[in-house]
């Protein structure tokens, strides 16, 4: 087992870089930013907006060399909704706005209102996938969550990752999908 470590104050670019690499083929992200240049230019802003509180709370954990990273938002903190909306409005074509914001509303409607840990981003660098790094990092992070005796919540834009999260105790609670938007699955792991 490789022990996870917290990301440091100056690690934001490397953390975001790993997540950009990890999500390069995910259906929702590539629907939102279909052109490679748009994806690589704009997706980092979206990642930072969604995971911003994790940087502030120092709850980004990673494996060495940024091989895998997980942004966790602890109970009591929330993503910056205005920054998320701005990132999407300014970088995604207008004809997708209705679908995108309807999906976000569906996601928000099932997001827990009680104390919980929220995992907006977990990713393994694209060149290092398939070796169990994501599972290793998630298991170690969930030990922290379990120590707080709180549930964990996430959304995944990739249907292929649902069985991965189910193996770690998450259960599907909702699937948000509107119009041409690929589905985004919300999952909850009860407190342990």
Q: Is 103 in contact with 177 (CB distance < 8 Å)?
A: yes
d(C-alpha 32, C-alpha 10), whole Å: 28
d(C-alpha 162, C-alpha 26), whole Å: 13
Q: What is the pLDDT of residues 92-103, one digit of tens each?
A: 999 999 999 999
- Determine the structural domain holding residue 39 and report its residue range: 5-189
To 10 degrees, the CA torsion angle through 11, 14, 20, 21? -150
- pLDDT score, position 1: 63
CATH of the domain at 110: 3.40.630.30
Query: Residue range 78-86: average pLDDT?
Result: 92
Over 80: is that where the pLDDT of 17 sits? yes
pTM of the predicted model, to two decimals?
Answer: 0.95
Q: Which of 15-19, 86-90, 129-133 has the lowest mean pLDDT?
A: 129-133
Over 90: is that where the pLDDT of 127 sits? no
* DSSP state for residue 2 in the 8-state scheme: P
Q: What is the pLDDT of residues 22-64, one digit of tens each?
A: 999 999 999 999 999 999 999 999 999 988 889 889 999 999 9
Q: How many domains does the chain have?
A: 1
Q: Percent of the chain having pLDDT more than 70?
A: 99
Q: Is 24 in contact with 126 (CB distance < 8 Å)?
A: yes
Q: What is the pLDDT of residues 19-28, one digit of tens each?
A: 999 999 999 9
The string over 93-121, giving b where at least 16 C-beta atoms fall within 10 Å of a residue's C-beta and e elsewhere, is eeebeebbeebbebeeeebbeeebbbbbb
Mean pLDDT estimate for the chain = 94
The string over 129-139, giving b where at least 16 C-beta atoms fall within 10 Å of a residue's C-beta and e elsewhere, is eeeebbebbbe
In this structure, how many other beta carbons lie within 10 angstroms of the beta carbon of residue 166?
A: 13
CA 143 to chain centre: 18
Q: Going along the chain, which residue ranges are E strands?
A: 5-6, 60-62, 68-73, 117-124, 152-156, 171-176, 184-189
């Amino acid at each position: 087992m490789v022990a996870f470590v917290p990301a440091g104050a100056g690690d934001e670019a490397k953390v975001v870089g790993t997540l950009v690499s990890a999500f390069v083929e995910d259906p929702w992200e590539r629907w939102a930013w279909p052109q490679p240049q748009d994806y690589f230019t704009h997706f980092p802003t979206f990642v930072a907006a969604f995971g911003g509180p994790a940087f502030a709370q120092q709850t980004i954990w990673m494996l060495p060399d940024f091989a895998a990273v997980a942004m966790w938002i602890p109970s009591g903190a929330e993503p910056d909704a205005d920054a998320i909306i701005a990132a999407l409005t300014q970088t995604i074509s207008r004809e997708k706005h209705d679908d995108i914001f309807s999906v976000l509303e569906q996601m928000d409607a099932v997001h827990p209102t009680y104390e919980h840990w929220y995992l907006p981003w977990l990713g393994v660098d694209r060149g290092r996938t398939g070796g169990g790094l994501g599972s290793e990092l998630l298991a170690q992070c969930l030990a922290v969550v379990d120590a707080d005796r709180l549930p964990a919540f996430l959304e995944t834009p990739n249907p292929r990752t649902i069985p991965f999260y189910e193996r770690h105790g998450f259960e599907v609670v909702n699937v948000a999908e509107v119009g041409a938007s690929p589905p985004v699955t919300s999952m909850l792991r009860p407190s342990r």
